[in-house]
């Protein structure tokens, strides 16, 4: 299996980002979060009761589960693909060529990209892309940490 070109990874990330942001937007309105924040903004009352705090935590957990489900759960039950990856015919596999399990996808996508990217203010993501541009196998930092690869063709 061939390692995929960086441009297809970027295209699929763009599509997946639209899906995730759209999903979070729907969850934002479906959980009533928009009315909660509108009340806070218009009344200028920033004090939060314990019930409101529980509500905020519940919404955060729902949104976090949605993100984890999309970036790690869906590829674990499909052939290692999110919708964006399916469109551009690329997939996650383990270093040995076997199908990725939820644990390695969670480490790769959630811990390796989201948390490290957020806590380093994007520095690790930029470093990861620089590393992948100069490596012969095009593996990024998150691929190296989770022992995965992103490939062009699926043979299984």
The answer to the question of residue 17 being in a domain is yes
Residue bearing tokens 């490939």: 151
The answer to the question of residue 96 being in a domain is yes
Closest CA to 110 of 63, 70, 68: 68
The answer to the question of residue 156 being in a domain is no
Angle at which helices 6-30 and 33-43 pack, to 10 degrees? Answer: 70
CA 49, 67, 107, 147: dihedral to nearest 10 degrees? -170
What pLDDT does 12 receive? 92
Per-residue pLDDT tens for 90-144?
Answer: 999 998 889 989 988 988 888 777 766 677 777 777 888 888 888 888 888 888 8
117 lies in which domain range? 6-151
The answer to the question of residue 1 being in a domain is no
Please say if the pLDDT value at position 9 is more than 60. Answer: yes
Measured in degrees and rounded to the nearest 5, phi and psi for residue 152 equal -80, -50
Return d(Cα 149, Cα 104) in angstroms, integer: 11
The answer to the question of residue 13 being in a domain is yes
Give the chain's domain count: 1
Model confidence pTM above 0.75: yes
H-state helical runs in the chain: 6-30, 33-43, 50-68, 74-77, 83-87, 102-105, 116-119, 123-134, 141-146
DSSP state of 45: -
- Which pLDDT band, with edges at 50, 70 and 90, does 54 fall under? confident
Per-residue pLDDT tens for 14-47?
Answer: 999 999 999 988 887 777 766 666 666 566 666 6
């Amino acid at each position: 299996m061939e390692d995929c070109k960086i441009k297809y990874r970027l295209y699929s990330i763009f599509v997946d980002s639209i899906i995730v942001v759209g999903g979070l937007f729907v969850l934002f309105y479906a959980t009533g979060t928009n009315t909660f924040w509108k009340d806070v903004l218009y009344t200028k009352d920033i004090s939060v009761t314990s019930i409101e705090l529980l509500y905020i935590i519940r919404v955060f957990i729902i949104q976090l589960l949605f993100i984890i489900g999309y970036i790690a759960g869906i590829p674990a039950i499909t052939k290692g693909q999110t919708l964006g990856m399916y469109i551009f015919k690329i997939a996650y596999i383990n270093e040995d060529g076997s199908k990725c399990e939820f644990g390695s996808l969670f480490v790769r996508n959630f811990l390796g990209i989201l948390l490290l990217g957020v806590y380093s203010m994007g520095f690790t993501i930029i470093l990861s892309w620089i590393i992948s541009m100069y490596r012969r196998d095009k593996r990024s930092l998150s691929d190296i940490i989770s022992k995965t690869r992103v490939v062009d063709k699926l043979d299984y």
